[in-house]
Amino acid sequence: MPYNLLQGKKGIIFGALNDQSIAWKIAEKCYEEGAQIVLTNAPIAMRMGEINKLAERCGNAPVIAADVTNNEDLKNLLQKSMEHFGGPVDFILHSVGMSMNMRKNNSYTDLNYDFTHKTLDISALSLHRILQLAFHMDAISEWGSVIALTYIAAQRVFPDYNEMADAKALLESITRSFGYQYALKKKVRINTVSQSPTRTTAGSGVKGFEGFIRYAEKMSPLGNASAEDCANYCVTLFSDLTKMVTMQNLFHDGGFSFTGVSREVIEQMEK
Ligand SMILES: NC(=O)c1ccc[n+]([C@@H]2O[C@H](COP(=O)([O-])OP(=O)(O)OC[C@H]3O[C@@H](n4cnc5c(N)ncnc54)[C@H](O)[C@@H]3O)[C@@H](O)[C@H]2O)c1
């Protein structure tokens, strides 16, 4: 049952690739809660055509291609979105990540640095690019809300998360640093949501993902948080009910982050 928490709000959603994407569920939920949205993804991802189905489901939302490593693309996206909405946006979701090292099975001790630069650019610096452009173009309204999705490998070692762990640490740092600046300028709040492992195209690219998702399920007293749960949480963070929350890394993981060990894991070890 919708609560109309985002009635009258306008936002940009990055990163809906297919109906498994966390951004896909967030876009649907934002629309259901009364928001108008613009969808965006990399030009290459657009070719799959899936995003047009989502656009239809979200009141024929405009779809504007933008590679997050390209300033001109991002400037065009912000400009077109403001023209469409007739003013600045109220929220932005950054749900973007990519590692060529993972795709090529390069381990953390054998990184290809060209790939690593790409990972950092796409998965972390892109948040700075979006915020810096929005800051100077005045593209986010007062008390607006920005969320980037992250993972706990930014704080603790998950060996097969590879250089994405470093990218997430940078993403969370940019969230704090820009969160400070944007709060002073326009009371815009910026947070990361640290989500449970979730079966998506990006998620399944992590080596040993199936074993890991089962381990996380056993280590989380509430179980793993689904993409739909994440969408509900993000709606609250885009809404006016969480106005004073900024510069935070917010764990959305069923309690995983603060569980040292669970009974189920101990029982498993005693077998
Ligand atoms: N799936 C998980 O287990 C999990 C857990 C925690 C956090 N996250 C984070 O959630 C976010 C979304 O990932 P997902 O799991 O929904 O997978 P996904 O593969 O559906 O989404 C990743 C998105 O990034 C986009 N992207 C890649 N390169 C881009 C570029 N150059 N320009 C614009 N967009 C680009 C892809 O097209 C895709 O839409 C990522 O930041 C990911 O790290 C995922």
Listing DSSP states for 43-98 in one string gives HHHHTT-HHHHHHHHTTS--EEE--TT-HHHHHHHHHHHHHHHTS-EEEEEE----
Tell me: is residue 15 an annotated ligand-binding position. Answer: yes
pLDDT by residue (tens digit) across 193-208? 999 999 998 888 888 8
C-beta neighbour count of 187 within 10 angstroms: 15
Give the span between the Cα atoms of 138 and 88, in whole angstroms: 7
- The band of 221, judged by pLDDT with boundaries at 50, 70 and 90, is very high
- The band of 91, judged by pLDDT with boundaries at 50, 70 and 90, is very high
- Kindly tell me if the per-residue pLDDT of 37 is higher than 90: yes
Instruction: Catalogue the active-site residues.
Output: 151, 161
What is the per-residue pLDDT for 47?
A: 86
Tell me: is residue 235 an annotated ligand-binding position. Answer: no
Rounded to the nearest 10 degrees, how much is the dihedral formed by the CA atoms of 224, 225, 226, 232?
170
What does the block give as tokens for 127?
Answer: 């948040």
C-beta neighbour count of 79 within 10 angstroms: 14
- Give yes or no for residue 22 CB within 6 A of ligand 1: yes
What is the per-residue pLDDT for 231?
A: 98
| Domains detected in the chain | 10-270 (3.40.50.720)
What is the crossing angle of helices 164-186 and 113-120, to 10°?
30
pLDDT, averaged across the chain:
97
